[in-house]
Amino acid sequence: MPAKDYAATRYSGLAQITAANAARLRPVWSFSTGVLGGHEGQPLVVGSTMYVVTPFPNVLYAFDLTREGYPLKWKYRPEVNPTALGLACCDAINRGAVYADGKIIYNLLDGHTVAVDAVTGSEVWKTQIADMNQGETTPMAPFVAGNRVIVGPSGGEFGIYGWVKGLDLRTGKILWTAHNMGPDSLMLARPGRGHYTADANIGVSTWQGDSWRRGGAPVWGWISYDAQLDLIYFGTGNPGPYNTEQRPGENKWTNSVLARRPRDGALVWAYQFTPHDSWDYDSNAEMILVDLVVGGRLRKVLVHFDKNGFAYTIDRRSGELLVAEPFANVTWAKHINRSTGLPVLDTSKTTGASRGDVKGICPSLEGGKSPASPSSYSPRTGLFYTATNNLCMNFAAAPVTRIAGTPYIGATTPYFAGPGGNMGEFLAWDAARGRKVWGIKEKFPVWSGSVVTRGDVVFYGTLDGWFKAANARTGKALWKFKVGSGVVGAPISFRGPDRKQYIAVYAGIGGDWFLLSGDVRSDDPADVRPPADFAPDLARHTSQGGMVWIFGL
């Protein structure tokens, strides 16, 4: 599955590559995907086949790892409506595929989920799940819990009415649709659940009028599953529009974690990280499920690095907040009140059309960490490993009108580097105590996922095109290799048919960096832009590209 296991740990039990020998890593194979655009997500290895989904037009490659040069077994080239390119807020990315029941299942950008026979490459089913006319696109990686395929849309910048759907694994039929706001009947919610809130129809009462109908709350990140509790966990994205004055109220359940039953979608509990979001702090980042001793008690928790700069440790049975500490530079809030679960705001950083240009908000709306950059967890070190961004912003909101199928944003938000000047850091986090254990500063924001192994090596990539290994215990840099384009994907570790351990990763800058970096693009002579003023050197080190790399000893 996309994040290795149900718990989304991205922990590999392989230990041939160690801190002692990682310096000897070398590239053993590479492949151009033939596609530009942000190569987010990760390859998927099932048995002796590696599957790769490209950004739009969402080609699926199946590589035979048993033969020299890893030739293709097949490739699947779906028909994808290019109109989707204008509805994807932030580049035409895809976050990967999931394997279940002999099928490779992934989303096409234009609002379809497809299941492809993992052996033959033939299409088994294809289901329309999202409506592009409403601004919905579908770059997220589907998740499978039991016999349900769980999917959600992007479109927080298009005023969508956010949802998740449960599809039948065998047929692709949509069995349930659960909205993230609105009346309980549409949220598939029963009142009285959750640690902090018990009111009925909270998805209506925390909005003004019917603003919930176009209030965003997309589901474009990662999903995890506790089979014992029979709960799936996922984050929702920002409320729309960015201008807070068009949506008074807490706007539940935007910027929240929701726990639902996979069978019927029933909402069991929810917790909102950033009520009445003023800064585009989506909460689509992964919810990593671990058992941790917190305050002297062994707790079943989920750990989440939010765009708002706080790392949260939450009891995953009830939604009770246990730990919330900043992992990045934060100015919008002073702290999170643990008993109420609410942030204590610095109200001078609250935005809105009547408040003019609000200066010095940290993190920027790229997030203290991007949800596109999934973290990893090692049970050996007990630490979480995450990319972070050290960017701040000014935020000038403006009134905006929703026109279905066009952006619904209403803000101008220039960025600048935070304290220290380094725009990124890759760090190790102790989620029981809420503190950083070590960090590696990077010149540019760190936008890659990570994988950590039983050999106590952690891997990540940088926007300027380096793929790196570090000692998971100490943070000591062990090895790096220039992969040709900035890394916005997530590395994986797998055992090849030759029983050797390999590390695979995509190169291919894009995603938000397609928009932000300005001049890393060379394929369109009619689209020439100056470099980003806050990162003018980035294009010196990278241009767009799409490559799959495999490294080994």
Of 50 and 93, CB closest to other proteins: 93
Of 316 and 521, CB closest to other proteins: 521
CA atoms of 170 and 93, how far apart (whole Å): 26
∠ CA 37-95-480, rounded to 5°: 70
Query: If DSSP codes are grouped into helix, strand and coil, which group holds residue 124?
Result: strand
CA atoms of 466 and 486, how far apart (whole Å): 7
Give min distance, CB of 298 to other proteins, in A.
46
Give min distance, CB of 369 to other proteins, in A.
22
Q: Which of 157, 325, 430, 442 is catalytic?
A: 157
CA atoms of 178 and 155, how far apart (whole Å): 16
DSSP H helical ranges for 373-494: none
Q: Which helix (H) or strand (E) holds 322?
A: strand 321-326
Three-state SS for 356-392 is: CEEEEECCCCCCCCCCCCCCEEECCCCEEEEEEECEE
What type of residue is 464?
D
**Both tokens assigned to 232:** 């799936």
Q: Which helix (H) or strand (E) holds 512?
A: helix 512-516
- Burial code (b: 16+ CB inside 10 Å, e: under 16) for 437-455 equals bbbbebbbbbbbbbbbbbb
Are 58 and 40 in contact by the 8 Å Cβ rule? The answer is no
Of 56 and 271, CB closest to other proteins: 56
Backbone CA torsion sign across 458, 459, 460, 464: positive
Q: Which of 280, 282, 425, 456 is catalytic?
A: 280
Of the candidates 144, 184, 202, 196, the one whose C-alpha atom is nearest the C-alpha of residue 266 is 184
Q: Rounded to a whole number, what is the distance in angstroms from the first to the last CA of the chain? A: 25
**Both tokens assigned to 305:** 């690095």
Are 180 and 188 in contact by the 8 Å Cβ rule? The answer is no
* Other CB atoms within 10 A of residue 168 CB: 14
157 an active-site residue?
A: yes
What type of residue is 134?
Q
168 an active-site residue?
A: no
Of 175 and 398, CB closest to other proteins: 398
Of 472 and 539, CB closest to other proteins: 539
CA atoms of 474 and 460, how far apart (whole Å): 15
Checking phi first, is residue 61 left (phi over 0); if not, alpha (psi -120 to 50) or beta?
beta
Q: What is the binding site for other proteins (CB under 8 A)?
A: 82-91, 157, 398, 400-401, 403, 405-409, 412, 514-515, 519, 524-531, 536-537, 539-540
Of 149 and 520, CB closest to other proteins: 520
Q: Which of 58, 94, 238, 308 is catalytic?
A: 238
Of 182 and 410, CB closest to other proteins: 410
DSSP state of 528: -
Of 115 and 409, CB closest to other proteins: 409
Are 353 and 243 in contact by the 8 Å Cβ rule? The answer is yes
280 an active-site residue?
A: yes
What type of residue is 267?
L
Beta bridge partners of 503: 493, 551
Cis bond upstream, residue 57 (ω within 30): yes
Of 157 and 430, CB closest to other proteins: 157
Give min distance, CB of 399 to other proteins, in A.
9
List the catalytic residues: 157, 238, 280
